[in-house]
Amino acid sequence: MQARSFDYVRPATMAQALKVLREEGSRAKVLAGGQSLIPVLKLRLAEPKLLVDIGRIPGLAFIEERRDGLRIGAMTRHRDLGLSKLVRDKYTLLSDAAASLGDPQVRNLGTIGGSLAHADPASDWGTALLAFETDLVVRGQQGTRAISIDKFFKDTFTTALRPSELLIEIRIPKAERTDGGAYLKLKRKTGDFATVGVAVQLGLDEKGTVAGVRIGLAAMGPTPMRAKKAEEILVGRRAGPTAFAEAAKVAAEEARPASDLRGSAEFKRAMVEVYARRALETATKRAGR
Amino acid sequence: MTTKRGKARRATRAPAKENGGHVITVTVNGTKYVRTVEPRVLLVDFIRDELRLTGTHVGCDTSHCGACTVLADGHAVKSCTMLAVQADGAEVTTIEALAPKGRLHPLQEAFKEHHGLQCGYCTPGVVLAALELLQVENAPTEEAIRTAISGNICRCTGYVNIVRAISAAGDMMRPGRK
């Protein structure tokens, strides 16, 4: 299969990349790791005139913790997120997502920023990051702005990014020792998109009560979504089987799955309930380790 | 930087343009090639059609099967899902590098010994995915082996003998052996 012809530039700096994006507008498409974009081009689902390869711009691949939280460069590969001890120890649900995503070859090239900008409804990263109060830092010619993950996904393959902007960094508030998270994914095989994916990040107080929780769902609508009603049920409740069963049931009701090759809507809804309950249990076990 | 992908070594300037193509420099199996390519040319087509190294196979051509797996700067990648221009400045390893003078690599010996292949179509990709693993871990667990080749599909033998072969190759490659 061959993509329709396009031109290619590889800016050496962010300033150069932003200049090209401003001049070319929607004619251009940003190439990060290419693991979503190249298949899309080969299938001719998109036919940009120009690819702007940001793969050699220095300083876009990093994982570091600051006082206020975790910062991940947009060009950080899935593989490196999966290998990070910092991520595994304190932001474990991101390790879960990194390990369940794609396959080894995809994880070696694909990037977290590319995956987010692609905005697949089954996006593992989109779902995982919805479980945190994530900010996405984007830069344009006018400067830098932060977009809340809650406002980032507009529709399938559509985000709040303007054509002239570049996603450069992902910021996650600092996880406390009493926080825990998990991302659980049901997939038919390695490399397939999620049939069902549930991300849970919760914080417990000293009595074992849920102080705060966010739940993300993959492949349950046009974009990754939050199970807000399930979150509301949990806050202030004792972390345990009764509250979890109730919340999982509500999460399944909130989900809007479509019947497709990966299963009927009814099956997926039933699996959301199972996976939400298990993710809540695992997140709780990990909290306060 | 927490990553160690050797990107700093790679060329950061954009490839020069020539007649609508881009001049790229790619080191494949230790040999440096300078070629002019159209941006849409996939790495696998560059390797097969331009360099005539046909050991790298095109299976599904949709990023699913892993038959086209090569190493780029030491990491397994699907060469059908990478543009040749992206490989500018990279070091690529294909299956041809494993038996340069006809002497089989331990992985190839082990695949032969343990019947790790039948038709052989998926084998170059599986071997390179396994090589990435064995380069960092020469006594991998079965689980680690299965994860390492989880992006590669075999439609003949199943995976049991492939896993055995990779494990045996690890034994052969361990320092102090052979």
Which CATH number goes with the domain that contains A14? 3.30.43.10
Q: Is B4 part of a structural domain of the chain?
A: no
Boundary residue ending a domain (A145, A173, A201): A173
Q: What is the pLDDT of residues A24-35, one digit of tens each?
A: 989 999 999 999
Q: Measured between CA atoms, how close is B78 to chain A, in angstroms? A: 6
3-class secondary structure, A110: coil
Q: Which of A2, A8, A62, A85 to mutate to test the interface with B (most CBs of B within 10 A)?
A: A8
Distances, alpha carbon B5 to alpha carbons A100, A230, B76, B118, in Å? 21, 41, 12, 34
| Domain match, B19 and B93 both | yes
Q: Of A4, A6, A38, which has the smallest distance from its Cβ to B81's Cβ?
A: A38
Q: Mind giving me the DSSP string for A199-234?
A: EEEEEE-TTSBEEEEEEEEESSSSS-EE-HHHHHHH
> What's the confidence (pLDDT) of residue B8?
41
Q: What is the pLDDT of residues A85-128, one digit of tens each?
A: 999 999 999 999 999 999 999 999 999 999 999 999 999 999 99
Q: Is A30 part of a structural domain of the chain?
A: yes
Boundary residue ending a domain (A173, A197, A231): A173
Q: Is B114 part of a structural domain of the chain?
A: yes
- B10 reaches A (C-beta below 8 A): yes
> What's the confidence (pLDDT) of residue B17?
74
| Domain match, B84 and B22 both | yes
Q: Measured between CA atoms, how close is A238 to chain B, in angstroms? A: 37
Nearest to B69 by CA among B131, B17, B21, B8: B131
Q: What percent of chain A has pLDDT over 70?
A: 100
Q: What is the pLDDT of residues A209-241, one digit of tens each?
A: 999 999 999 999 999 999 999 999 999 999 999
> What's the confidence (pLDDT) of residue A184?
98
| Domain match, A199 and A277 both | yes
| Domain match, A278 and A205 both | yes
Q: What percent of chain A has pLDDT over 90?
A: 97
> At B38, which CATH number?
3.10.20.30
Boundary residue ending a domain (B97, B120, B146): B97
Whether residue B9 is predicted with pLDDT greater than 80 in this model: the reply is no
Q: What is the pLDDT of residues B12-62, one digit of tens each?
A: 556 777 666 999 999 999 999 999 999 999 999 999 999 999 999 999 999
| Domain match, B22 and B66 both | yes
Q: Which range marks the domain in which residue A88 is found?
A: 63-173
Q: Give the model's confidence band at B1: pLDDT under 50 very low, under 70 low, under 90 confident, else very high.
A: very low
> What is the CB neighbour count within 10 angstroms for residue B144?
15
> What's the confidence (pLDDT) of residue B2?
39
Q: Is A2 part of a structural domain of the chain?
A: no
Q: Is B21 part of a structural domain of the chain?
A: yes
Q: What pTM, to 2 d.p., does this model score?
A: 0.94
Q: Do B10 and A56 touch (CB under 8 A)?
A: yes
Q: Which residues of A touch B (CB under 8 A)?
A: 1-12, 31, 34-35, 38-39, 41-43, 51, 53, 55-56, 58, 61-64, 76-77, 79-80, 84, 102-106, 108-109, 190-191
Boundary residue ending a domain (B72, B97, B122): B97
Q: Averaged over B101-109, what is the pLDDT?
A: 95
| Closest-approach residue (CA) in chain B for A189 | B150
| Domain match, A11 and A108 both | no
| Domain match, B54 and B85 both | yes
Q: Do A102 and B151 touch (CB under 8 A)?
A: yes
Q: Measured between CA atoms, how close is B23 to chain A, in angstroms? A: 12
Q: Give the model's confidence band at B5: pLDDT under 50 very low, under 70 low, under 90 confident, else very high.
A: very low
| Domain match, A119 and A90 both | yes
Nearest to B15 by CA among B37, B48, B33: B37
Whether residue B91 is predicted with pLDDT greater than 80 in this model: the reply is yes
Boundary residue ending a domain (A131, A156, A173): A173
Where do the H-state alpha helices sit in chain B?
Answer: 43-45, 106-113, 123-136, 142-148, 160-173
> What's the confidence (pLDDT) of residue B4?
42
| Domain match, B68 and B86 both | yes
Boundary residue ending a domain (B51, B71, B97): B97
The sheet carrying A63-66 orders its strands as: A63-66, A69-73, A166-173, A135-140, A143-148
> At A272, which CATH number?
3.30.390.50
Q: Is B167 part of a structural domain of the chain?
A: yes
> What's the confidence (pLDDT) of residue A186?
97
| Domain match, A196 and A272 both | yes
Which chain A residues contact residue B132 at CB under 8 A?
Answer: 104
Q: Which range marks the domain in which residue B26 is found?
A: 14-97
Number of domains in chain B: 2
How does DSSP classify residue B97? G
| Domain match, A38 and A78 both | no
Mean pLDDT for chain A?
97
Residue scoring higher pLDDT (B11 or A74): A74
Distances, alpha carbon A187 to alpha carbons A22, A47, A95, A180, A195, in Å? 39, 30, 17, 23, 5
The number of residues in chain B equals 178
> What's the confidence (pLDDT) of residue B6?
42
Whether residue B88 is predicted with pLDDT greater than 80 in this model: the reply is yes
Q: Averaged over B104-126, what is the pLDDT?
A: 97
